[in-house]
């Protein structure tokens, strides 16, 4: 006869295979047989959290904690959902509680660190990831995450050491190469940053973060034409990334391709209404394409607004 444990084990197998609906169905079957099974509530709540079915996730995870107050992963999963729902302080209490209940479980430290970083506590994330790395010293994923948090704290040299340690363990770890390149760029080591980002792109040609930062390196080196090609590639890969599209439009304008820049900027002015950078470069593109009156109106509005681009707009009106 199939019991709750059998359904839970079946659900775990489906879950590990990425089959979320089949896993959820198995966990629900376990709960039909045993409504107070904390593991089934926890696992089902975790899946609902992955699916962003927040209210259902909270209901099951709260029930899991109520049934099994000492279940560390239930606290950890509940904390993550609460953070995602904007209840950061409450969520962190559960995430911290999970580390108290299971201090030797690397996953609870990783979850705590990721959510601390998400909430802007980079120093707290460093502490939690250091504990995770202490438990699993050679894990390149954890080393890379620790390095990322260190870089967010301005500890660039320490971050670079962690990324290189991760790459010693796993030379094909794309995120370690990307984060190494970004951190070297922040340290203004442009040559080394370029090498790291190109290595990342050799392994993952469509990595958006690597492409964007390669474009920034190229701009810092005065390589506008190369940067234009890079940002155009970014746009073609994902047109929804509006910051990248704005950088592409500015580059097109700088390279004398005002009509193409104008087409991008008109659409961006609708998607990013009120964005002063968009409006300023839209005005420049309008001037370059012979739309002097429309450009003048935009520049006058920017000047009157007194914002970041007011002075530059006023100079163009003179």
Question: Which has more confidence, 273 or 232?
Answer: 232
How confident is the model at residue 273, as a pLDDT? 87
Q: What percent of the chain has pLDDT over 90?
A: 97
- Which domains, from first to last, does the chain contain? 1-102 (1.25.40.10), 244-318 (1.25.40)
How confident is the model at residue 274, as a pLDDT? 86
pLDDT tier for residue 1 given thresholds of 50, 70 and 90? low
pLDDT tier for residue 317 given thresholds of 50, 70 and 90? confident
**What mean pLDDT comes out for the span 34-49?**
96
pLDDT tier for residue 197 given thresholds of 50, 70 and 90? very high
How confident is the model at residue 203, as a pLDDT? 98
The candidate with the shortest Cα–Cα distance to 65, out of 28, 107, 25, 36, is 36
Cα dihedral 190/192/198/201 (nearest 10): -100
Residue 46 has pLDDT above 80, yes or no: yes
With vertex at residue 297, the alpha carbon angle to CA 296 and CA 300, rounded to the nearest 5 degrees, is 85
Check residue 299 and report its DSSP letter. H
Kindly report, residue by residue over 242-253, the tens digit of the pLDDT.
999 999 999 999
How confident is the model at residue 19, as a pLDDT? 95
- Token readout for 207 is 């990595």
Q: What is the pTM of this model?
A: 0.88
Residue 2 has pLDDT above 80, yes or no: no
Instruction: Write down the H helix ranges in the chain.
Output: 4-16, 20-33, 38-50, 54-67, 72-84, 88-101, 106-118, 122-135, 140-152, 156-169, 174-186, 190-203, 208-220, 224-237, 242-254, 258-271, 276-288, 292-305, 310-317
How confident is the model at residue 148, as a pLDDT? 98
Kindly report, residue by residue over 106-136, the tens digit of the pLDDT.
999 999 999 999 999 999 999 999 999 999 9
């Amino acid at each position: 006869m199939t019991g709750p444990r059998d359904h839970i084990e079946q659900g775990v197998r489906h879950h590990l295979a990425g089959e979320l609906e089949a896993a959820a169905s198995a966990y629900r079957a376990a709960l039909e047989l045993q409504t107070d099974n904390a593991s089934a509530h926890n696992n089902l709540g975790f899946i609902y959290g992955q699916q962003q079915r927040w209210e259902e996730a909270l209901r099951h995870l709260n029930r899991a904690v109520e049934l099994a107050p000492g279940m560390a992963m239930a606290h950890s999963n509940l904390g993550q959902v609460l953070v995602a729902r904007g209840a950061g302080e409450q969520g962190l209490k559960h995430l911290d509680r999970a580390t108290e209940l299971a201090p030797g479980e690397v996953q609870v430290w990783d979850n705590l660190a990721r959510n601390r970083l998400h909430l802007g506590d980079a120093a707290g994330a460093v502490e939690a990831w250091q504990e995770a790395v202490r438990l699993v010293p050679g894990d390149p994923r954890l080393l890379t995450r620790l390095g990322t948090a260190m870089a967010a704290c301005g500890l660039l040299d320490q971050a670079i050491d962690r990324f290189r340690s991760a790459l010693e363990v796993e030379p094909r770890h794309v995120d370690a190469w990307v984060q190494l390149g970004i951190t070297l760029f922040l340290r203004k080591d442009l040559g080394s940053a370029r090498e790291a980002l190109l290595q990342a792109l050799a392994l993952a040609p469509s990595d958006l973060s690597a492409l964007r930062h390669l474009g920034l390196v190229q701009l810092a080196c005065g390589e506008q034409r190369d940067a234009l090609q890079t940002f155009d590639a970014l746009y073609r890969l994902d047109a929804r990334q509006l910051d990248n599209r704005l950088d592409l439009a500015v580059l097109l304008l700088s390279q004398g391709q005002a009509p193409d820049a104008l087409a991008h900027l008109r659409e961006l002015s609708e998607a990013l209404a009120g964005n002063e950078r968009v409006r300023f470069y839209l005005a420049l593109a309008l001037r370059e394409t012979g739309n002097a009156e429309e450009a003048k109106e935009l520049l006058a509005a920017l000047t009157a607004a007194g914002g970041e681009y007011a002075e530059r707009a006023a100079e163009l009106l003179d």
